[in-house]
Amino acid sequence: MQESGVLKDSIVLVQLPNTWELAMLYLAIARAGGIISPMPMQWRQRELKYLAKLTNAKHYITVEEFKGFKHIDAGKEFVERVFSIHDIRKMAKSNKKPEDVKIDANDIFTICWTSGTEADPKGCPLSHNNWIYQSGNLVKACKLQDGDRQLCVAPLVNMTAVGVNYIPWILTAGTFVLHHPFYPEMCLKQLVEESINFTILVPAVLNMILKYPGIEKFDLSRIRTITTGSAPPSKWVMEEFKRRWDIDIINIWGQNEGTALVAGPDDVPDLEKRVDHFPNWGRDCGWKSGIRGIETKIVDADGNELNKAGEIGELLYRGPNVIPCYFNRPDLTEKAFINGFFRTGDLFVIKDECYIGFYDRKKDVIIRGGFNISAAEVENVLLEHPKVLEVAAVGMPDEILGERVCVFVVPKGEAPSLEELREFMKGKGVAIYKLPEKLVIVDKIPRNPVGKILKSLLREELKKELNKNV
């Protein structure tokens, strides 16, 4: 890495599937003095171009080709030095001792990416200390043990896999077993054959495991805990995992900005409550997990703090796990923080003195299979289409992925087809997972008096539309 020009604080873009090379590049790049900036495999020219410009990265590590897309060729357009996974293997075989670089625990370790209401991805820099505190909390809340074996099912590119699997692996000196998402049968096989103790799976996969034909033949008893997120798990799922294999299901709310709450067995012992109660770690409730250091507030639209049970407001969060800023975007950072607290953009309902429940997202994002999609990005690209007069993107509920993109379009003359819109976006280099999977043609888009699109009305309309087809 050093010979290829990685110096102290060089940012290295990495786009690899879940492989040992990706896992070790986090440490190797840090050892060389650089900062890894991992990208989801689904990203295309559009995202790469933006990231290369914003980070001024001179290095990009990827595979030749993946699912028909030639990553190396695309990389050469935007980044000076492009390396393949084969180059990395060659580098790993050299026995040269790297030059010593002084690395501080407050140095940035990673810049992962998230999408909000803005069209472009936002870089979330986190330091060694941020990660050690964050995953230290997870280790406590999930009661991970020294030497635990973990299965990493989520793409190793952001908070889910890095915060829940990768850093805890380093903190517990455990075994890190990789799965490239997602092959259900192989995942089950790995859970058994690799004697896994801990993993994170989405609620839909938990359901699938319970209903899997012949599941009684799989010995899952080595698993102690499975964390989940993105949607609340059902009480039935939690009870069945406990009854069949004595597995605790733990619900996590978290964001790439470092904010997180974990409903572990110590802090939320009651299974019934664990479905929709998160410990409000900002309150001094003598948490059995021992977690301290987080400050929280629930506020109404005017910023007034709420305290009564039943009240709903936005969660503000401050703690040793939170990003210092959005990378190279002081404009976005300014909007995202208030008096040192991060505005999570998520609405929570106050359950009681010590617990809060996730209520709704305030931000206009669609979360498909754990990846945030900015509605504005989809809308902005489609507005350029000659047959589109007005457009609004909303999330369409989906059992497996959580949500998929649905667009409402007011046509300019002849109505476009869904395929036409998808082809148009592909032609603009937009990642496949952001493409709409449903199109509803309408006469007008409902707006409030200042012109803001009323997405809640569109979601209602979409529900009616979907029920009609059943």
Partner 1 sequence: MILHSEDVIREYTEKGYWGVKTLLDYFYENVEKNSDREALVDPQIKKSLSD
| Shortest separation between residue 117's beta carbon and partner 1, angstroms | 23
Separation of alpha carbons 76 and 78, rounded Å: 6
Residue 20 lies near partner 1 (rule: CB under 8 A): yes
Closest to 458 measured CA to CA, from 383, 390, 401, 400: 390
**Closer to partner 1 at the Cβ: 342 or 348?**
342
Identify the DSSP state of 217. G
Residue pair 291/319 in contact (Cβ under 8 Å)? The answer is: no
| Shortest separation between residue 264's beta carbon and partner 1, angstroms | 19
Residue 295 lies near partner 1 (rule: CB under 8 A): no
**Closer to partner 1 at the Cβ: 51 or 458?**
51
Take residue 163 and report the two structure tokens written for it: 């915060």
Separation of alpha carbons 40 and 112, rounded Å: 10
Q: Exactly one of 71, 140, 179, 297 binds partner 1 (CB under 8 A); which one?
A: 179
Closest to 424 measured CA to CA, from 386, 375, 371: 386
What's the one-letter identity of residue 89? R
Residue 190 lies near partner 1 (rule: CB under 8 A): yes
Q: Exactly one of 72, 192, 194, 367 binds partner 1 (CB under 8 A); which one?
A: 194
| Shortest separation between residue 155's beta carbon and partner 1, angstroms | 12
Q: Is the dihedral of CA 88, 39, 100, 164 positive or negative?
A: negative
Report CA Rg, the chain.
22
Residue 192 lies near partner 1 (rule: CB under 8 A): no
Question: Site residues for partner 1, window 156-175 (CB under 8 A)?
Answer: 167, 170-171, 173-175
Q: Exactly one of 6, 13, 14, 35 binds partner 1 (CB under 8 A); which one?
A: 35
Residue 131 lies near partner 1 (rule: CB under 8 A): yes
What's the one-letter identity of residue 262? V
Take residue 109 and report the two structure tokens written for it: 């370790």
**Closer to partner 1 at the Cβ: 17 or 411?**
17
Q: Exactly one of 36, 61, 178, 275 binds partner 1 (CB under 8 A); which one?
A: 178
Residue pair 222/195 in contact (Cβ under 8 Å)? The answer is: yes
Torsion angles phi and psi, residue 22, rounded to 5: -65, -45
Closest to 255 measured CA to CA, from 183, 315, 297, 186: 315
Q: Exactly one of 25, 63, 237, 262 binds partner 1 (CB under 8 A); which one?
A: 63
346, β-bridge pairs = 361
| Shortest separation between residue 81's beta carbon and partner 1, angstroms | 19
Using CB under 8 A as the binding criterion, the count of chain residues that bind partner 1 stands at 53
Question: Site residues for partner 1, window 305-364 (CB under 8 A)?
Answer: 320, 324-325, 340
Question: Site residues for partner 1, window 75-114 (CB under 8 A)?
Answer: 85, 103-109
From 10-18, 213-221, 225-233, 271-279, give the range in contact with partner 1 by CB under 8 A: 10-18
Largest CA distance in the chain: 66
Residue 9 lies near partner 1 (rule: CB under 8 A): yes
Residue 31 lies near partner 1 (rule: CB under 8 A): yes
Instruction: Indicate the SS3 state at residue 237.
Output: helix
Residue pair 432/421 in contact (Cβ under 8 Å)? The answer is: no
Q: Exactly one of 6, 23, 349, 445 binds partner 1 (CB under 8 A); which one?
A: 23
| Shortest separation between residue 387's beta carbon and partner 1, angstroms | 38
**Closer to partner 1 at the Cβ: 168 or 233?**
168
Residue pair 268/275 in contact (Cβ under 8 Å)? The answer is: no
Query: What is the DSSP code string of 46-59?
Result: HHHHHHHHHHT--E
Residue 415 lies near partner 1 (rule: CB under 8 A): no
Separation of alpha carbons 326 and 113, rounded Å: 9
Question: Site residues for partner 1, window 254-273 (CB under 8 A)?
Answer: none
Q: Exactly one of 40, 75, 125, 395 binds partner 1 (CB under 8 A); which one?
A: 125
| Shortest separation between residue 1's beta carbon and partner 1, angstroms | 13
Take residue 274 and report the two structure tokens written for it: 């664990």
Residue 21 lies near partner 1 (rule: CB under 8 A): yes
Element (H, E) at 38: strand 35-38
| Shortest separation between residue 184's beta carbon and partner 1, angstroms | 13
Residue 2 lies near partner 1 (rule: CB under 8 A): no
The site string for partner 1 over 201-240 (x = CB under 8 A, - otherwise) reads: ----------------------------------------
Residue 69 lies near partner 1 (rule: CB under 8 A): no
- Checking DSSP bridges between strand 355-361 and strand 365-368, what pairing results, if any? unpaired
Residue pair 392/383 in contact (Cβ under 8 Å)? The answer is: no
Residue pair 55/9 in contact (Cβ under 8 Å)? The answer is: no
**Segments of 302-370 assigned E as strands:** 312-318, 337-338, 341-350, 355-361, 365-368
Q: Exactly one of 5, 184, 290, 293 binds partner 1 (CB under 8 A); which one?
A: 293
Contacts with partner 1, residue ranges (CB under 8 A): 9, 16-21, 23-24, 27, 30-31, 35, 63, 66, 85, 103-109, 125, 127-129, 131-133, 147, 167, 170-171, 173-180, 183, 186, 189-190, 194, 292-293, 320, 324-325, 340
